[in-house]
Amino acid sequence: MEEAELRQRVEAIYRSDSRRVLATLIRLLGDFDLAEEALHDAFIAAVQQWPRDGLPANPRAWLVSAGRFKAIDSLRRRARFDASKRHLVAELEEAASAFLEGEDVEDDRLRLIFTCCHPALPADAQVPLTLREVCDLKTEEIARAFLSSPSTIAQRIVRAKAKIRDAHIPYQVPALAELPERLDNVLRVIYLVFNEGYSASSGDSLTRTDLSAEAIRLARLLLELLPDPEVMGLLALMLLHDSRRAARATADGELVLLDDQDRTLWDHGQIAEGLALVAQAMASRRVGAYLLQAAIAAVHAQAADAAVTDWRQIVGLYDVLQRLVQSPVVALNRAVAIAMRDGPEAGLAQVDALLEAGELADYHLAHAARADFCRRLGRKDEARAAYESALALARQEPERRFIEMRLRELDG
């Protein structure tokens, strides 16, 4: 393999496997910062050695081994000046001899999620820490997802890492009896990972396939551990949304709204699996927020085209969801469904009330919804102002181009 081609392979492996390698290194080394340093050193070693020695049969295991031994070497040097590190070096050297390059590290990201969502950690730090460490989302991206400041999110992450280190929080999937109490945050994390993949919070691309695929994989692992209706609901929800991926953008990367999508491009295998999971979960009569959202997605999936969508059923499901989850975003989605059932004026009244309450003032989709209702009502000036507000807040380029197109249409 030519050196240039091998470097490309190293870069591809970094994109696909670096967070899995990091998750395993955190388990093996017991320290986030040391593991991140070891990951960096392992990839430097790969760039230096693989052109000479060739691509290893198991690159991920090679990187884990290299990173682990690099960390031990680093600790040995520090131990010369810090006696407290000598015991740690001895432990890691003993454990390193037991590590095999063929060791299965596939489940380590799920272990890491449960560690980051440990009940000993502050609730407001669990999800940001997981998104940062498991999914490599930037602090700014996480802050936007939480409508918070990057400095606040960064402080939460640093404190959570210190808590895990100082309290020796175990790196493991909890026992079956402990799973239910830990489940809510884990499900929330997996869904936030999927959302960032399904509709990236910023950047040139509408989607990040790697993140949504990883979220679906983690949900499948979790379902094997705990066949709970809400786990089924979350997996169904992600499958039903992901089934539309090929129809959500044009060949040029432009956004295509749900009503305008070519439904022949939808993945009907994913739809069938999602519908079956919804039916199985509903049979339990234990209905939670993810299952209700999956049921809403199922109504869309079963409609042959946008015109025959059962908006009455969707509004009814949103009514139940809103009673269960007091969320302004759920209320916004319900307002859109009401507009589709009763007309844009009914939806506009709902959105105006939400914007007046202030919780969605910085949420670009709320302003975009208001703009669309005003456009459909022929209130061009109001539509223009709302689109401009949405444009000022949007960070994803396909969404920005779509809003700019709507503005041009108003001026045309």
Output the domain CATH number for residue 396. Answer: 1.25.40.10
Q: Answer yes or no: is 327 within a domain.
A: yes
Contact 92, 25 (CB under 8 A): no
For residue 144, the model assigns a pLDDT of 73
For residue 106, the model assigns a pLDDT of 52
Q: Is 339 helix (H, G, I), strand (E, B) or coil?
A: helix
Q: Answer yes or no: is 75 within a domain.
A: yes
Which of 76-80, 294-298, 340-344 is the least confident region? Answer: 76-80
Q: Answer yes or no: is 392 within a domain.
A: yes
For residue 94, the model assigns a pLDDT of 53
CA distance 44 to 114: 29
More confident residue, 74 or 325: 325
Q: What's the pLDDT tens digit per position in 157-201?
A: 999 999 998 888 887 777 777 777 788 888 988 898 888 888 766
Per the prediction, the chain carries an average pLDDT of 87
User: Which of 105, 130, 149 is the C-terminal boundary of a domain?
Assistant: 105
Q: Answer yes or no: is 41 within a domain.
A: yes
Give residue 290's pLDDT band: very low, low, confident or very high (50, 70, 90): very high
Residues 6+ apart with CB under 8 A from 98: none
Q: Answer yes or no: is 303 within a domain.
A: no
Percent of the chain with pLDDT over 90: 48
More confident residue, 177 or 344: 344
Q: What's the pLDDT tens digit per position in 97-143?
A: 445 444 444 568 778 888 888 888 988 898 889 888 887 788 887 88
Q: Answer yes or no: is 179 within a domain.
A: no
User: Which of 75, 105, 135 is the C-terminal boundary of a domain?
Assistant: 105
Q: Is 58 helix (H, G, I), strand (E, B) or coil?
A: coil
Provide the β-strand partners of residue 396: 203
For residue 205, the model assigns a pLDDT of 64
Q: What's the pLDDT tens digit per position in 69-102?
A: 888 888 877 766 555 555 655 555 555 544 544 4
For residue 180, the model assigns a pLDDT of 73
CA distance 7 to 46: 9
pLDDT for 304 beyond 70: yes
Number of domains in the chain: 2
Rg of the chain's alpha carbons, rounded to an integer? 24
Percent of the chain with pLDDT over 70: 90
More confident residue, 71 or 345: 345
For residue 105, the model assigns a pLDDT of 47
pLDDT for 230 beyond 60: yes
Q: Answer yes or no: is 278 within a domain.
A: no
Contact 161, 32 (CB under 8 A): yes
Provide the β-strand partners of residue 114: none
pTM of the model: 0.75
206, two tokens: 């509408």
Q: Answer yes or no: is 178 within a domain.
A: no
More confident residue, 215 or 105: 215
CA distance 144 to 148: 6
User: Which of 105, 128, 154 is the C-terminal boundary of a domain?
Assistant: 105
Q: Is 203 helix (H, G, I), strand (E, B) or coil?
A: strand
> Can you tell me the mean pLDDT for 268-275?
98
Q: Which domain holds residue 67?
A: 3-105
> Can you tell me the mean pLDDT for 391-398?
91
For residue 188, the model assigns a pLDDT of 87
